[in-house]
């Protein structure tokens, strides 16, 4: 209760502080300081947008991984399963702020990485147990890819490329 009262008093005193007590001079040093502050804010905002785009790119990689696995399942079991269309990857790509849309959806490096990752065999049961090998671990496989060092290194390489 005491802490809440102290915080409330502090907030009230800061809130009621008169703005006219704050003075800025127009010296060259002050103008340079203002410019540096604004440059930092703009740079920080660009960094923030880039990091958001890189997260979107990572999410696109996950979505493409799921789509890739689903396509393989359909090819091996064409009459057994039907997969509905999911445009999550396109939605993430369209939300990009800085990075190019092409980087998200027409990216050979990323597509090759996903293709190679999905060559790994993920089965719910060992191959010896042939009772029901139609149980798939799609989410596990793609979450492992999403959290992989390989994908993180790729995302880092895009980050470095952007700052060059």
Q: Is residue 93 part of a domain?
A: yes
Q: Is residue 106 part of a domain?
A: yes
Q: Is residue 150 part of a domain?
A: yes
Domain count, the chain: 1
Residue 10 has pLDDT above 60, yes or no: no
Report d(CA 88, CA 62) in Å as an integer: 10
Q: Is residue 99 part of a domain?
A: yes
Helix residue ranges, H only, the chain = 2-15, 28-76, 88-94, 101-105, 108-117, 138-146, 149-163
- Using one digit for the tens of pLDDT, what is the confidence trace for 34-67? 666 666 656 676 788 888 999 999 999 999 999 9
Residue 110 has pLDDT above 80, yes or no: yes
> pLDDT at position 153, please?
94
| Tokens describing residue 56 | 């979107």
CB 115 within 8 A of CB 68: yes
Residue 101 has pLDDT above 90, yes or no: no
| Tokens describing residue 63 | 């979505």
Instruction: For the chain, give the number of residues.
Output: 164
Full domain range(s) for residue 32: 26-163
> pLDDT at position 156, please?
92
Q: Is residue 20 part of a domain?
A: no
Gyration radius (Cα) of the chain, Å: 26
- Using one digit for the tens of pLDDT, what is the confidence trace for 122-156? 777 666 666 566 778 889 999 999 999 999 999 99
> pLDDT at position 43, please?
64
pTM: 0.68
Q: Is residue 18 part of a domain?
A: no
Burial group, residue 142, by CB count within 10 angstroms (0-12, 13-18, 19+): buried
> pLDDT at position 18, please?
45
- Kindly state the average pLDDT of the residues 76-88: 83
Report d(CA 77, CA 135) in Å as an integer: 12
């Amino acid at each position: 209760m005491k802490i809440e009262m102290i915080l409330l008093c502090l907030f009230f005193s800061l809130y009621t502080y008169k703005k006219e007590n704050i003075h800025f001079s127009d010296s060259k040093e002050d103008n340079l300081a203002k410019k540096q502050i604004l440059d930092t804010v703009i740079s920080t905002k660009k960094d923030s947008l880039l990091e958001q785009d890189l997260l979107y790119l990572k999410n696109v990689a996950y979505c493409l991984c799921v789509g890739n696995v689903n396509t393989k399942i359909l090819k091996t079991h064409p009459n057994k399963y039907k997969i509905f269309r999911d445009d999550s990857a396109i939605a993430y790509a369209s939300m990009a702020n800085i990075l190019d849309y092409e980087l998200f959806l027409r990216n050979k490096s990323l597509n090759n990485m996903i293709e190679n990752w999905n060559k790994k065999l993920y089965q719910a049961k060992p191959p010896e147990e042939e009772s029901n090998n139609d149980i798939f671990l799609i989410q596990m496989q793609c979450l492992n890819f999403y959290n992989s060092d390989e994908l993180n290194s790729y995302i880092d390489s895009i980050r470095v490329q952007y700052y060059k």
